[in-house]
Amino acid sequence: MNLEESEMAPGFAGLLWDDTPVLTHSHVRTFIWPILLYRGAVRPSEVIGAISQVCSTEDLKVGAWSALEGDYVDRTRVELLVDEVLGEMVGSRILRYNADEDLWVLTLGENRQNVHKVINVVTALDGMMPHHLLADLAADERNRLPIPF
């Protein structure tokens, strides 16, 4: 709908954006982090379910040409991007994959390298750290302190 069409029927829909933005990795991350902070783990299907409510129909088409794959693929663009972002997060050791439960789990990392990243996200979203990370932090502190005799 353009400006002229919206003026023909005032109050009907108002000015709307013609195009939904193309889905990118950064959009996908903004759907992954809230689920991680709430549950401490995420499944790709949960992220896909959340994104599909707001993304373009082009991102949900199966069998469309994919610039990422360079071919006609049997998966949607949303599925490809979610898998890529989760893979990046595993590669940067923010997440670990639990094959038994098919979950990507938020971790503190070796030597607590991810604590500052998780705290930054929690602060930005005005959220709360997952309970399993708080328990891991407390256990590390308990183990560090000497036992009084």
User: Does residue 61 sit within a domain?
Assistant: yes
pLDDT score of 10: 52
Give the number of other CB atoms < 10 A from CB of residue 46. Answer: 16
Cα dist. 70→28, 65, 130 in Å?
A: 21, 7, 38
User: Does residue 3 sit within a domain?
Assistant: no
In this predicted model, what pLDDT tens digit does every residue of 42-80 receive, in sequence order?
Answer: 999 999 999 998 888 888 888 766 666 677 668 888 998
Asked whether the beta carbons of 68 and 80 are under 8 A apart, the reply is: yes
List phi, psi (to 5°) of 71.
-160, 175
On the 0-12 / 13-18 / 19+ scale of CB atoms within 10 A, 86 is buried
Segments of the chain scoring below 70 in pLDDT: 1-19, 64-69, 72-73, 140, 145, 147-149
Residue 112: left if φ>0, alpha if ψ -120 to 50, beta else—which one? left
pLDDT score of 44: 95
Give the number of other CB atoms < 10 A from CB of residue 10. Answer: 8
User: Does residue 1 sit within a domain?
Assistant: no
User: Does residue 26 sit within a domain?
Assistant: yes
Tally of domains in the chain: 1
Q: Which domain holds residue 63?
A: 18-144
User: Does residue 2 sit within a domain?
Assistant: no
Residue type, 119: I
pLDDT score of 12: 52
Residue of 121, 115, 136, 133 whose CA lies nearest to 33: 121
